[in-house]
Chains A and B, each alone.
Chain A
Amino acid sequence: MAYQFEFTPVFEHADLLLKGAGFTLALTVTGAVLGIGLGIVGAICRAWQLKPFNWLFGAYVEVIRNTPFLVQLFFIFFGLPSLGVKMGEWEAAVLAMVINLGAYSTEIIRAGIIATPRGQLEAAASLAMSRAETFRHVVLRPALQKVWPALTSQVIIVMLGSAVCSQIATEELTFAANFIQSRSFRAFETYFVTTAIYFALAVLLRQVLMALGRRFVIGRPA
C-alpha cells in the first residue's frame, strides 16, 4: 500500500513553525551583526599585524575553522558551566554563532583589506590622513564592497547551521520541527515543510543582504 501524505498535523502546528522561523531569523541577524563586527576588528588586527592581537585572532580563526560548529556549541553550553560560566540556551546559541561567523568573516574581510591598492594608501597618506582615518574613510568601504557576496554567503551558511542549536533546546525552526515530528510521527511531511521554510528564509535573506549591500556598502546609484 502506498504512503498516504497527511500534512494536516504539520499545519496544525503552524504557529510553532512560524515562531521557530522567527527565532532562527533573530539568531541569524544578531549573530551576523555581532559576528561581522568581530570580523572587522579581527581583520584590522590581522591586516595591520597588531601584536599580540594578530596572533590571538590567527589562533582563534584556526581553531574555529577547523572544528565542527556543533562541538563549539556543546563546548559553550555544556563545557563552560564547569568553569562557572553558565548561560541559557539562547545566549549560548548567539555566542556560538558570533564566534563562528567572527572567525570566517575575519578571514573574508582581511582578504578585502589586503586587496586595497597601494596607491590608495599613498594618496591618503599624501593628504596627511592617519592610519585610522585612512582605514575608516578609504579602505573599509571598498574592502566590504569586494567581499560582500562572500560575506552574504557566509551569513546564509551560518543561518542554515543554526539548525544544530536545536540540540541544546534553543527553540528555533529545527527544534520546532523535531517537536512536531515527535508528536505527529509525520517525518516526511514535517521535514518537507521545514526544508521549504529554510529554503525560503535563505532566498529571502540573500535578497535582503544584497539589497543592503547595494544601499549601504556600495552606496551609489547604479
Chain B
Amino acid sequence: MSLVKIAGLHKHFGSNHVLKGIDLEIAEGEVVAIIGRSGSGKSTLLRTINGLESIDDGEIVVDGATLHAGDKDLRPLRLKVGMVFQQFNLFPHLTAGENVMLAPTVVKKTPRAEAMEIARKMMAKVGLAEKFDSYPDQLSGGQQQRVAIARALAMNPRVLLCDEITSALDPELVNEVLSVVKQLAAEGMTLVMVTHEMRFAREVGDKLVFMYQGRVHEAGPPRELFANPQTEELASFVGSIN
C-alpha cells in the first residue's frame, strides 16, 4: 500500500504543458530522488504534492488526503506533507526556536509549553539545540537549512519534500544538511527530493525518478539506473554530470 499516489497528473503554465501525465507511487519509508535537467518539470512535480502548484488534471493522494484539480481546501493535504526549500525561507523576525514552534501553536493549537518541547526536540535532532534563541541572520546557510528541516518536522508530516535543499549552500556546508537528511532516511522518514547531489541519491535513495520533458522517463533503483540507463536521455544526463 503506497503512502503517496500520483495518477494522471497534468499541469500547464499558460500554453506550456509542463507535466504530461505523471504516475508515481511512493511507499512508506521510501526515499525518492527526482532528477532531470532544468525545465524537465521536477520541481513543479514536487510542488504539486503539497498544493503549492495547482494541478489541471489527475489525482494526488497522500495517506488518505486527496487533491484534485480546482480543490480549494489544501489544509488536510498540507498537514500530511512537509517541505524544505532551496532558499530556507525561515521567518526572519522569529528566532530559530520560534520558527519551529509557530505552525504547531498556530495551526495545531498545541499549547505553548508542549510546542516548545517539540521544538527543542526537533532542534536537537538537527544538531542545533544551542541555537534555539538565535535569529536566522545569525546562522550560517547550513544551519538555517537544518532549522528549516526542524520546522517542517515539528508538524509531524508523513512525507517530507526537499526542493534542491543544498543548491544554495556553500560546498563545505552541504554535508551537514545531507547528513541530517540521511539520518531521517535511516529513521524511516518518507522523503521525496529534487536534487543535483547524484552521489547522495545513489547512496541514500531507494528510488530514482528521471524526469524528461514533463514525463517520468525512467524510474527504478538508483544503482541500476546509474549503472545501466535504459534510455539515451538518461545516459546523456548521467554522462553530463559525472
Binding site for B on A (CB under 8 A): 117, 119-120, 122-123, 125-130, 133, 137-138, 141-142, 145, 218-220
A145 proximity list for chain B (CB < 8 A): 93
Do A122 and B78 touch (CB < 8 A)? no
> Given the complex of chains A and B, what is the CA–CA distance between A127 and B74 in angstroms?
11
> Which chain B residue has the least Cβ–Cβ distance from A143?
B93
What's the nearest-Cβ distance from chain B to residue A58, in Å? 26
Q: Which of A125, A127, A130, A218 is close to B102, meaning CB atoms less than 8 Å apart?
A: A127
A142–B78 CA distance with the chains assembled, in angstroms: 24
Knowing that A119-B89, A126-B82, A126-B152 are A-B contacts, what are 7 other residue pairs whose CB atoms are under 8 Å apart, sorted by A's residue number? A123-B83, A125-B52, A125-B74, A126-B50, A126-B52, A126-B85, A129-B107
Q: Which of B72-120 contact A (CB under 8 A)?
A: 74-75, 78-79, 81-83, 85, 87, 89-93, 102-103, 106-107
B132 near A: Cβ within 8 Å?
no
- Residue contacts A-B, CB under 8 angstroms, 11 given: A117-B89, A122-B52, A123-B83, A123-B89, A123-B151, A125-B51, A125-B52, A127-B82, A127-B155, A137-B106, A141-B93
Complex Cα gap A133–B87 (Å): 22
State whether B89 touches A128 (Cβ < 8 A). Answer: no
Q: A120-B91, A122-B85 are in contact. Are A128 and B107 (CB under 8 A)?
A: yes
| B135 located at the interface, meaning its Cβ lies under 8 Å from any Cβ of chain A in the complex | yes
A127 & B91 in contact (Cβ 8 Å cutoff):
no
Min CB gap B199→A, angstroms:
27
Nearest CB in chain B: distance from A132 CB, A = 10
The interface bits of chain B over 119-159 (1 if a CB of A lies within 8 angstroms of the residue's CB, else 0) are: 00000000000000001000000000000100110010000
Partner of B103, one of A120, A122, A129, A218: A129
CB–CB B93/A129 < 8 A: no
Interface string of B64-77 (1 = CB under 8 A from A): 00000000001100
Residues of B close to A220: CB separation below 8 A: 93, 135
A60 to chain B, nearest CB (A): 30
**Interface hits, B32-85 → A, CB 8 Å:** 50-52, 74-75, 78-79, 81-83, 85
B85 touches A142 (CB 8 A): no
| A contact residues around B90 at 8 Å (CB) | 123
A126 near B135: Cβ-Cβ < 8 Å = no
Partner of B93, one of A126, A130, A219: A219
Contact A142 B79 (CB under 8 A): no
Residue of A nearest to B84 (CB): A126
Q: Is B93 within 8 A of A133, CB to CB?
A: no
Is chain A's interface secondary structure helix, strand, loop, or mixed overall?
Answer: helix
Shortest C-beta distance, A222 to chain B (Å), equals 11
Q: Given A133-B107, A137-B102, A220-B135, does the pair A127, B151 have CB atoms closer than 8 Å?
A: yes
- Of B92, B106, B148, B161, the contact of A129 (CB 8 Å cutoff): B106
Chain A residues near B107 (CB-CB < 8 A): 127-129, 133
Contact A123 B91 (CB under 8 A): yes
Q: How far is the CA of A125 from the CA of B50 in the complex (A)?
A: 9
User: Given A137-B102, A142-B93 in contact, is the A127-B78 Cβ separation under 8 Å?
Assistant: yes
- Give every chain B residue within 8 A of A218 (Cβ-Cβ): 93
- Contact: A128 with B93, CB < 8 Å? no
CB distance from A134 to the nearest CB of B (A): 9
A212 shortest CB reach to chain B, Å: 16
The answer for the CA separation of A125 and B90 in the assembled complex, in Å, is 13
Separation in Å of the B163 CB from the closest CB of chain A? 10
Task: Tell me whether A125 and B78 are in contact (CB under 8 A).
Answer: yes
Give the top 5 A-B pairs by smallest Cβ distance, nearest first.
A127-B103, A123-B89, A128-B78, A126-B83, A119-B89
Complex contacts, A128 vs chain B, CB 8 Å:
74-75, 78-79, 103, 107, 155
Q: How far is the CA of A127 from the CA of B99 in the complex (A)?
A: 11
| Cβ A130 vs Cβ B89 within 8 A | no
Bound CA–CA A145/B94 (angstroms): 13
Least CB distance from B73 to A in Å reads 10
| B50: A residues at CB distance < 8 A | 125-126
A142, B102: Cα distance in complex, Å: 15
Instruction: Write out the residue numbers on chain B whose beta carbons fall within 8 Å of the beta carbon of A127.
Output: 78, 82, 102-103, 107, 151-152, 155
